[in-house]
């Protein structure tokens, strides 16, 4: 490998494009899984069947939680669980540094959304800003996100919630297999909801999982995922169709036993990235909350342009030329997205905007070749070492469009 970045004419460090995520579905497409899927199809019981129940029991056992309800997506899991918690129409504090789905679940419950700023170390909800927002005693709920799988400061958030009479519910979409104080996520607040979408390290191809120790909430979500109708066809709560198909449950059951290996690997790869880029100025990694174990659904880092020599967007373009896909998650943050400027109005969240302007996520998989990981680090190093020329080249390309 030479020192010339691909964007300046060097040979790309990777011969084929490396995606930002690599779902493990194909690795687990075994004859056993195919047999199970064939059995489901031949039984004609393709939804609401025994496979979903088996997955729910296995996941509850893995998390050490009393109840786990499988649904068709995390977005619908959050939507139904917020309703089941009686939070419809109430004031809810949510982060802005997340996917819009977090706020959308609150919106569909007619909640009044209040965006909280973040902490620049962990990328999670800022405790200081949360405390300021809770001065409004009408706030009924707080919905933190474990950003990239990094557990939030659960104890501090829940203490603030108790003080102000608010309920805490969690968007744990990315945190399956992560721990807070040696306890799996899924056990905090009134409920936590995980995602099984294909971008997640544990996936059921699509799906959502409501974890709770509250029996009534679990029963209400179970009812609501099936239109809210009783067996006698009386609709007792206006629910949705949020059922998980049996085939998705079969995929989830096949992949579930790999979860600990995935999170162990991802933590190891994160360390390797940190070591490989330690000497590069202007790069700082997401800090894991003390006493926590991250699932590292994404590997996020901040690029400080004045020290690194270019912006995160320039780095993204230069890495693309090296056959390395990256994601600028999350830009724009939700409070600056069109729908929410209309719904909530324009506002400023300084740390969220600062991070959104600097964040970049590098490829991170359940199983990753260490040579590939080292090549990605080498690419970042050589792009930084040639930052003036890379910037000129990008500016020239832009001018020629
Ligand atoms: C933080 C967060 N919340 C919610 C979701 C929505 O999950 P789903 O696609 O399963 O509805 C995602 C999915 O990417 C997410 O990352």
pLDDT in tens, 163-182: 999 999 999 999 999 999 99
Interval between CA 98 and ligand 1 midpoint (Å): 9
The contacts found for 117-120 with CB under 8 angstroms, 24 or more apart, are 117/349, 117/350, 117/351, 117/352, 118/147, 118/349, 118/351, 118/352, 118/355, 119/351, 120/302, 120/351, 120/354, 120/355
Task: Kindly report the CATH class assigned to 26-257.
Answer: alpha beta
Interval between CA 14 and ligand 1 midpoint (Å): 30
- CATH, domain 6-22+259-399, list 2.60.40.1730, 3.30.540.10, 3.90.1150.10, 3.40.50.720: 3.90.1150.10
For residue 206, the ligand 1 atom closest to its alpha carbon is 10
Q: Is 113 helix (H, G, I), strand (E, B) or coil?
A: strand
Interval between CA 3 and ligand 1 midpoint (Å): 39
Residues 6+ apart with CB under 8 A from 248: 72, 196, 204, 205, 206, 207
Name the residue of 70, 74, 77, 210 to mutate for ligand 1: max ligand atoms within 8 A of Cβ. Answer: 74
From residue 305, alpha-carbon distances to 283, 286, 312, 350, 357 in Å are 9, 17, 7, 17, 10
Q: Which one, of 302, 277, 309, lies nearest residue 385 by Cα?
A: 309
Residue ranges of domains in the chain = 6-22+259-399, 26-257
For residue 207, the ligand 1 atom closest to its alpha carbon is 10
> What residues does ligand 1 touch, defined as CB less than 6 Å away?
73-75, 98-99, 101-102, 145, 171, 173-174, 195, 197, 199, 208
Segment 318-375, tens digit of pLDDT: 999 999 999 999 999 999 999 999 999 999 999 999 999 999 999 999 999 999 999 9
Segment 6-35, tens digit of pLDDT: 999 999 999 999 999 999 999 999 999 999
Name the residue of 21, 71, 75 to mutate for ligand 1: max ligand atoms within 8 A of Cβ. Answer: 75
Contact 69, 196 (CB under 8 A): no
Contact 156, 126 (CB under 8 A): no
* Chain mean position to CA 275: 24
């Amino acid at each position: 490998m030479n020192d010339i970045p691909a964007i300046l004419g060097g040979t790309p460090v990777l011969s084929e494009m490396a995606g930002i995520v690599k779902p493990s579905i194909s690795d687990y497409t075994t004859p056993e899984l195919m047999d199970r899927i064939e059995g489901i199809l031949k039984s004609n019981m393709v939804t609401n069947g025994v496979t979903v129940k088996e997955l729910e029991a296995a996941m509850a056992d893995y998390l050490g939680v009393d109840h786990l309800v499988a649904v068709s997506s995390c977005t619908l899991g959050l939507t139904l669980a917020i309703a089941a918690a009686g939070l419809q129409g109430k004031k809810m504090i949510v982060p802005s540094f997340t996917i819009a789905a977090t706020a959308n679940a609150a919106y569909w419950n007619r909640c009044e959304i209040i965006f909280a700023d973040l902490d620049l170390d962990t990328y999670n909800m800022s405790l200081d800003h949360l405390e300021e927002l809770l001065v409004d005693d009408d706030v009924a709920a707080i919905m933190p996100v474990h950003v990239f799988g990094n557990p939030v400061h659960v104890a501090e958030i829940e203490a603030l919630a108790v003080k102000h009479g608010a309920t805490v519910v969690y968007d744990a979409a990315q945190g399956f297999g992560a721990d807070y104080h040696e306890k799996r996520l899924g056990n905090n607040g009134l409920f936590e909801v995980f995602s099984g979408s294909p971008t997640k390290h544990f996936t059921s191809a699509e799906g959502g999982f409501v974890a709770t120790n509250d029996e009534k909430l679990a029963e209400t979500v179970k009812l609501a995922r099936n239109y809210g109708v009783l067996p006698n066809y009386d609709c007792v709560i206006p629910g949705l169709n949020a059922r998980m198909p049996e085939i998705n449950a079969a995929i989830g059951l096949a992949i579930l036993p790999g979860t600990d290996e995935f999170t162990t690997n991802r933590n190891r790869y994160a360390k390797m990235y940190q070591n490989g880029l330690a000497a590069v100025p202007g790069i700082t990694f997401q800090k894991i909350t003390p006493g926590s174990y991250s699932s590292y659904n994404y590997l996020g880092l901040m690029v400080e342009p004045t020290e690194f020599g270019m912006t995160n967007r320039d780095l993204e373009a230069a890495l693309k030329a090296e056959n390395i896909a990256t994601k600028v998650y999350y830009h724009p943050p939700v409070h600056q997205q069109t729908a929410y400027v209309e719904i909530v109005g324009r506002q400023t969240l300084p740390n969220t905007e600062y991070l959104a302007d600097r964040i970049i996520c590098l490829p991170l998989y359940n199983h990753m070749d260490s040579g590939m990981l080292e090549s990605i680090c080498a690419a970042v190093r050589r792009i930084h070492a040639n930052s003036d020329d890379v910037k000129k080249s990008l500016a020239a390309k832009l001018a020629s469009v």
